[in-house]
């Protein structure tokens, strides 16, 4: 029987997997996810063909490894999922790893590459942890299957040096790998290919301002098929606010967060743990801190339930708008399309409408019916532009990081 590909997208609070057939293009066979790992009870969602199940597992799933083990057990034991009954049915496992340091492309896991990834974990402990835990588990429990890691940062290796470099001591920067890396690159790679195909242009001639707005949010300027700038930086904390991330702030704010800041001196900061600040800015900020919810669908509403909800929405709009202006200028005004992707970009008609209205001066104009309807389930790219506007087209792209990884496996290894 033909072997299958397992694509794993491990986040801080969820593990999503999709099984694909090994053919070009890969076809999804089953989709499973455990979410709420950090905010129990965890929920398990499983989809195969027309059937969807959602339940709260009895098992205590408090780590990404637990969640992944549970998903495998459920899928391997599903008698209606005959293509995937054991390790022998898997040709490859692909893993989304957020921080890939200087890697330009996907790599196969062996002792040496795993060791290198473990070193990188120091640079991105909050973001690489889940994926690495699952990679280690696969190596132990599914030893005959090759694991290939795909990096969110790889797509942005093309950014020019003056964009990647922070204006700090360069010896320190080089020794510690302190530069802009950028993330969501697996998603941007999917978006570029899908949108170029939709526009009928070769990817290498396509210029986009693409947004991946989900609980982690970023935006990317793509010139002639290459990333020339993106809003995230050394880590995914930089740039736009997210569900629990602050996005850009004055870095000095860290030292003023407590009310003892006025009396800070090198001696008094000896015991101050910067990791606490990193944790607050990553996990206790963003729209959760402003409006008390991580669910943006409660914030992006015509009549917000509170001033705080309205403020959170206005901040997100303002920060995205700043980047659109920035990237429009960097692309010399030659922008084929402004693309909305990610859970929020794909689903929030209000966010798209608000931003499009504010981008009128760039010639952006959208069809409100098309925008309100959004994309159909199986529609990868939907044009929501109005008539023959002079400016860039406005598109929704339903991005798919798992598919992108499986597709690359099929293209490179069949
Ligand atoms: N209709 C909607 N309007 C606005 N936001 C939505 C809507 N539906 C889902 N979302 C938001 O999408 C976000 C999740 O996006 P997603 O890209 O799946 O996130 P991630 O992969 O970063 O976990 C959540 O903040 C959720 O509230
Ligand atoms: C890089 C990043 O922020 O990822 P996610 O949106 O999945 O949290
Ligand atoms: Mg995501």
Distance 177 CA to ligand 3 centre (A): 24
Please, which pLDDT band fits residue 259 given cuts at 50, 70 and 90?
Answer: low
The number of angstroms, rounded, from the C-alpha of 67 to the middle of its chain's C-alpha atoms is: 19
Residue 412 main-chain phi, psi, to 5 deg: -95, -15
Joined tokens for residue 356: 């499009």
Under DSSP, is residue 345 helix (H, G, I), strand (E, B) or coil?
helix
pLDDT given at position 263: 62
Q: Per-residue pLDDT averaged across 96-119, rounded?
A: 95
Of the candidates 413, 401, 409, the one whose C-alpha atom is nearest the C-alpha of residue 18 is 401
Residues with CB in 5 Å of ion ligand 3: 214
For ligand 1, whether the C-beta of 184 sits within 6 Å is no
Reply yes or no on whether 89 is catalytic. Answer: no
Of 31, 66, 89, 152, the catalytic one is 152
Contact residues for 218 (Cβ-Cβ < 8 A; gap 6+): 182, 183, 184, 211, 212, 230, 231, 232, 236, 239, 240
Q: Per-residue pLDDT averaged across 336-344, rounded?
A: 97
Interval 187-231: pLDDT, tens: 999 999 999 999 999 999 999 999 999 999 999 999 999 999 999
Q: Per-residue pLDDT averaged across 277-288, rounded?
A: 92
Determine if residue 147 is labeled as part of a ligand binding site.
no
Residue with the nearest Cα to atom 3 of ligand 2?
216
Euclidean distance between CA atoms 111 and 98, whole angstroms: 20
Instruction: Encode 148-170 in three state secondary structure.
Output: EEEECCHHHHHCCHHHHCCCCCH
Specify which of 10-14, 32-36, 183-187, 279-283 reaches the highest per-range mean pLDDT. 183-187
Q: What is the DSSP string of 42-72?
A: PEEEEEETTEEEEE--SS---SHHHHHHHHH
Joined tokens for residue 245: 């991330």
Interval 375-408: pLDDT, tens: 999 999 999 999 766 899 999 999 999 999 999 9
Q: Is pLDDT at 310 greater than 90 in this prediction?
A: yes
Euclidean distance between CA atoms 67 and 35, whole angstroms: 9
For ligand 2, whether the C-beta of 214 sits within 6 Å is yes
Distance 236 CA to ligand 1 centre (A): 17
pTM of the model: 0.95
Q: Is pLDDT at 312 greater than 80 in this prediction?
A: yes
- Render the burial of 90-112: b for 16+ CB within 10 Å, e for the rest: bbbbbbbbbbbbebeebbebeee
Q: Per-residue pLDDT averaged across 336-358, rounded?
A: 97
Contact 45, 18 (CB under 8 A): no
Please classify residue 374 by burial: count the beta carbons closer than 10 Å to its beta carbon, then call 0-12 exposed, 13-18 middle and 19+ buried: middle
Q: Is pLDDT at 275 greater than 60 in this prediction?
A: yes
Q: Is pLDDT at 262 greater than 60 in this prediction?
A: no
Interval 130-145: pLDDT, tens: 999 999 999 999 999 9
What percentage of the chain has pLDDT greater than the value 70? 95
pLDDT given at position 1: 52
What average pLDDT is seen over the chain? Answer: 93
Residue with the nearest Cα to atom 8 of ligand 2?
216
Q: How many CB atoms lie within 10 A of CB 168?
A: 10
For ligand 1, whether the C-beta of 199 sits within 6 Å is no
**Domains of the chain, CATH where assigned:** 4-151 (3.30.420.40), 201-401 (3.30.420.40)
Angle at 149 between CA 174 and CA 188, to 5 degrees: 80
pLDDT given at position 278: 87
For ligand 1, whether the C-beta of 295 sits within 6 Å is yes
Residue with the nearest Cα to atom 4 of ligand 2?
216
């Amino acid at each position: 029987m033909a072997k299958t590909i397992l694509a794993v997208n491990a986040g801080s609070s969820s593990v999503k997997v999709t099984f694909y057939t090994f053919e070009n293009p890969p076809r999804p066979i089953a989709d499973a996810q455990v979410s709420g790992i950090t905010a129990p009870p965890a929920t398990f969602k499983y989809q195969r063909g027309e059937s969807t199940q959602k339940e709260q597992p009895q098992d205590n799933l408090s780590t990404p490894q637990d969640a992944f083990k549970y998903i495998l057990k459920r899928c391997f034991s599903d008698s209606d999922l005959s293509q995937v009954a054991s390790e022998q049915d898997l040709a490859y496992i692909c893993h989304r790893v957020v921080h890939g340091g200087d890697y330009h492309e996907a790599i196969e896991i062996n002792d040496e590459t795993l060791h290198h990834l473990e070193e990188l974990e120091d640079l991105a402990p909050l973001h690489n942890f889940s994926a690495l835990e699952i990679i280690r588990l696969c190596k132990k429990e599914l030893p005959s299957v090759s694991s290939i890691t795909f990096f969110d940062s790889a797509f942005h290796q093309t950014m020019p040096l003056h964009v990647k470099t922070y204006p700090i001591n360069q010896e320190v920067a080089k020794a510690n790998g302190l530069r802009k890396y950028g993330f969501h690159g697996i998603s941007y790679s999917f978006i570029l290919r899908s949108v170029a195909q939709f526009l009928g242009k070769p990817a290498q001639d396509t210029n986009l301002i693409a947004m991946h707005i989900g609980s982690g949010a970023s935006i990317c300027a793509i010139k002639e098929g290459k990333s020339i700038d993106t809003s995230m930086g050394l880590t995914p904390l930089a740039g736009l606010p997210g569900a629990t991330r602050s996005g850009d702030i004055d870095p000095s704010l860290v030292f003023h967060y407590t009310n003892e800041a006025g009396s800070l001196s090198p001696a008094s900061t000896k015991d101050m743990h910067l990791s606490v600040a990193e944790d607050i800015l990553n996990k206790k900020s963003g729209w959760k801190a402003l409006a008390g919810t991580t669910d943006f669908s409660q914030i992006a509403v015509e009549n917000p339930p509170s001033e705080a909800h309205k403020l959170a929405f206005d901040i997100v709009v303002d920060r995205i708008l700043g980047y659109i202006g920035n990237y429009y200028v960097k692309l010399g005004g030659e922008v084929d399309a402004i693309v909305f992707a990610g859970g929020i970009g794909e689903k929030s008609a209000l966010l798209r409408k608000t931003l499009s209205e504010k981008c009128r001066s760039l010639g952006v104009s959208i069809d409100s019916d098309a925008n309100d309807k959004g994309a159909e389930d199986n529609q990868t790219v939907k044009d929501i532009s109005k008539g023959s506007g002079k400016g860039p087209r406005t598109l929704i792209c339903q991005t798919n990081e798992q598919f992108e990884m499986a597709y690359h496996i099929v293209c490179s290894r069949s």
